Structure 1
Amino acid sequence: MKKVVVLDYGSGNLRSAQRALERVGAEVTVTADASAALAADALVVPGVGAYAACMDGLREVGAPATVARRVADGRPVLGICVGMQVLFDAGVEHGVETAGLGVLPGRVESLRAPVRPHMGWNTVSVPEGSTLFAGLPADVRFYFVHSYAVHDTEGLVTRSEHGEPFVAAVEAGAVSATQFHPEKSGDAGAALLENWLATV
């Protein structure tokens, strides 16, 4: 059974992420402990709320070094929602730029849409060769809640649209990330988590 740590840094849907991963066969520990996060087969970085607050929480538990070490060693990391956003170079909220973890190239900026937040179910456009979305139908929907987004990055990029196109997910080596919440996305989210766990 794959051992997965869900990183507890004071933000995120920790228990629902834990339950969703356990349902697809992972042995899950929710902890802020850096040694456990380094030793696990895979690390999940959740996140809700403000970018700057999440970065503060991550720094308080020493997570930047932990995530950087895992990525350098090619060991799986999954970011969810703001946990995805903090993997990028920087985030801009209310005119203030905050440095991110810099694992993925790109900036998190306001979603240019008539209605924000983007909340609810939406379809995604998946690139060929995606592992995360393997076996899922083209019209599959996932659950989003966000007002900020990444507009471009490197790797296998899955897009969605709300007012404008944005990055809904990215797969780049050991790093996978979703702007939507797989743990709130029913069977589709479970299938995605199962696909991810199979790569661990």
Structure 2
Amino acid sequence: METFLTILLDGLQFSSYLFIVSAGLTIIFGVMKILNVAHGSFYAWGAYTAAFFIGKFSDMGMPDALGFLIIIAAAISVGLVLGFIIEQGLLKYMYHRDEVLIVLATFGLFLVLEDIILIAFGTDPYFAYQPMALLDAVEIGGIIRDVYGLTLIGVAALVAVGCWWLLNKTKWGTLLKAVIYDREMGISMGINVPMVYTMTFIGGAILGGLGGAYI
């Protein structure tokens, strides 16, 4: 029973992490019809940014609980900055180009962003243990699990519910679905499609950054 429970919880935690990261990629592809090969860079930037600032604030004697705010701030910052720059500086000029060119462009961007990480953060590993240590551990069915890892399942559930609510219960969701089903018709009805694309890409980038920052 303990072995089964361990496998179950490990599977849920890992799949939750994958869901958070892939949800952003799926939203971008569904709305914008582009395969963003550089999406993994949002994950990497979110992870490095969160770990770097958690370590810095911890060295300054700040409360460990501040780490959770840093995780959220890192994800939002990565999404807003990188998402906006990439969409406005590169992708907006390639929406009508061949899909292969977009894949090659985003792959090249992925290589550039990874090298910038090495320049900005170096090659040494970063360990941001404070949020995990703060939540301690709990016994479930005879096995010890860290509470931080279990909260990842809850975060994934919140992301899933939030995406469903956004798409089905809000005006923004209606705009997204209109653009997904018929971009030209959406334009003819007065929908600001470039703005929808920009906000969608930023939202997907934030989810990618959140996956990296939280893990």
Q: Give the TM-score of the pair, scaled to structure 1.
A: 0.23
Higher relative helix content: 2
Bigger radius of gyration: 2
Q: Give the TM-score of the pair, scaled to structure 2.
A: 0.22
Higher relative strand content: 1
